[in-house]
Amino acid sequence: MISTFIKKHNLDNIFANNARDYFVPLADDIKTRQAIANNTFFIGLNGCQGSGKSTLSEFLKEYLSKTYSLGVVVMSLDDFYISKDDRRLIADQFHPLFNTRGVPATHNMAVLKAVLLALKHQQSTTIPSFNKVTDEPSPISAWTEVVSAVDVVIVEGWCWGVTSQTPAQLAQAVNSLEALEDPQAKWRTHVNLELSLNYQPLYHLMDCWVMLKAPSFDNVLPWRLEQEQQLAAATKNTQPTKLMDQRQIQRFIQHFQRLTEQALETMANSCDHVFELSSSRAISAHRVKNSST
């Protein structure tokens, strides 16, 4: 199954080793815990841009469905981004930096909450999707319909699971974008408020937390560049590309730096499984809550 998945997704030997040594045991653990819960089992998956969240989510879905015949739904926080017009309204009200998707306040959390609760109560629902090439939500016809109860729900996101910061932390700019474009901390303060009001209350719905932990934020740029190249290759024959060059990506990822570093500093202590990654995304250590391997 691993070799078929690797071929299908054009993955390398690093992923093969990670899957064999770490991700299959993770999936087996999820199966065991889901059976004990005897209900829909929710997994929260955190990792910075380019860390491999989507690939791991799809691997877990395929392994659990083929090996154990479980019904699995994968949801990305990215698919709940609001439209450019809606972001413009928030930008006009609070700060121009909200024109750029990414941070809390640029997701439709009311829809995410409704979807999570529907899945928890084993009701039918529809999961949206977002087109990063057009920077707009996909048409409703492209959304995923869930019409029956599922066994496992995986929710992955770059800031999923991250907690809000203190006023003292917000006062200090973490990069040039914050220093030059948010000198009064209005943007990051509103991001922090949205995080505490509309994201953190949903974390309790997760039964298990998994983290793909990058060595540092310095890894985000090369990993995000890889993502952009893959997106370009995947869409070059199907739709016009409006993708970012390196300079644009360097600016883009600064929007994510504060909460990415907050996750790297704080989340490992609370996650059930923490996979520490090298710069090549090989797993260098696996920490399980209350133990380590």
Backbone angles phi, psi at 155, to 5 degrees: -115, 115
Q: Encoding tokens for residue 160?
A: 């999923």
Cβ atoms 200, 114 nearer than 8 A:
no
For residue 292, pLDDT beyond 50 = no
- Is 63 within a domain? yes
DSSP string over 20-67: IIIIHHHHHHHHHHHHHHTS-EEEEEEE-TTSSHHHHHHHHHHHHHHH
- Is 94 within a domain? yes
Output 238 or 184, whichever has higher pLDDT.
184
- Is 137 within a domain? yes
- Is 110 within a domain? yes
Mean pLDDT of the chain: 94
Dihedral sign (CA 279, 77, 130, 122): positive
Which pLDDT score, from 0 to 100, does residue 239 have? 57
- Is 51 within a domain? yes
Give the residue-averaged pLDDT of 149-158.
97
Torsion of CA 137, 139, 140, 143, to 10 degrees: -70
Q: Give the domain CATH number at 165.
A: 3.40.50.300
Q: Which one, of 51, 18, 54, 43, lies nearest residue 285 by Cα? A: 18
- Is 253 within a domain? yes
Which pLDDT score, from 0 to 100, does residue 68 have? 97
Residue numbers of the domain that contains 28: 2-284
- Is 292 within a domain? no
Backbone angles phi, psi at 143, to 5 degrees: -75, 160
Q: Which one, of 277, 216, 214, 287, lies nearest residue 26 by Cα? A: 287
Structural domains counted in the chain: 1
Give the residue-averaged pLDDT of 230-237.
68
For residue 60, pLDDT beyond 50 = yes
* Predicted TM-score of the model (pTM): 0.93
CA–CA dist 95, 235 (Å, integer): 32
For residue 251, pLDDT beyond 60 = yes
Sheet with strand 283-288: strands edge to edge: 72-76, 152-157, 41-47, 208-213, 273-277, 283-288, 291-292
- Is 289 within a domain? no
